[in-house]
Structure 1
Amino acid sequence: MEDGQTEPPELTICFYDGEFMDDFAALTYLCKIEGSVERYDGPPLSVLDEAMLLVDMFAKRYSTPSPSGSYVTVFIGRKIGTEVEPLVRLDTRISEGLASASIFCKDAPHAEAASVAVDSDDDVGTILRKILTKYLQP
């Protein structure tokens, strides 16, 4: 960091067991990953690119819980001070060895991510990384 520059706001990725139906009480908190990733030799990363890289870096050192059911809800936001600005929600369904996600972005139309193969022992970080990797491929 050069003098006068501030650290970029952290990305916050929160994982919940359950299907989000506009009721946080129906969700069970699993874990949170926080941090930031910057590109120094090109255009800024999109929120989803940054989330994928952050989860990938985290997964190399730590594990996250495994989902207990067929649905995982992931909220991605930008931490500004003590507040978190919501940016993306992924509603993920896991069935018969496949995970698919509906992606709701603050400033973009709703999108469907193609299904990805998941193993029964995949944790929520691994599942998110697989979904984002396939979704973000050119």
Structure 2
Amino acid sequence: MPLTGHCLCKAVTYTVDVDAPILTGYDHCDDCQRQSGSTYSLVCVVPKDKFTSQGPLKKWKGIADSGNAVWRWFCAECGSPIAHDPEGAPEIIALKGGSLDMEIKKTLKPDTEIWTVSKLPFCQENLAKPFKYMPQ
């Protein structure tokens, strides 16, 4: 069963032709904190070539600490974040976990944390695979 999701206003919908994400985890980088308006962003990494979308996606180019571009994808209508697309890893895209359909979100099992160097001190939960920056 493919992964499916949408933005808040449902103008953007997407499908990922996989049964499960490659990785599900918490991204503590400052950019994800700002984009999500929260302490971290729940991300579901999937193969980019399996992702298709419909609707008014807008993209904004940010620059990662590595110097590579990271494209932030969001709905042009409601502004809901959909994914981030790191040029440093062109084979993947990191879906914003909150944009997945509810029945899929309920099955997610985050087991990884990235960018823990930016993890806020009141976020106490530690997962099995913490990485100070990006996994190598």
**TM-score normalised by the chain length of structure 1:** 0.28
Higher Rg: 1
Higher relative contact order (CA 8 A, sep 6+): 2
**TM-score normalised by the chain length of structure 2:** 0.28
The structure that is helix-richer by fraction is 1
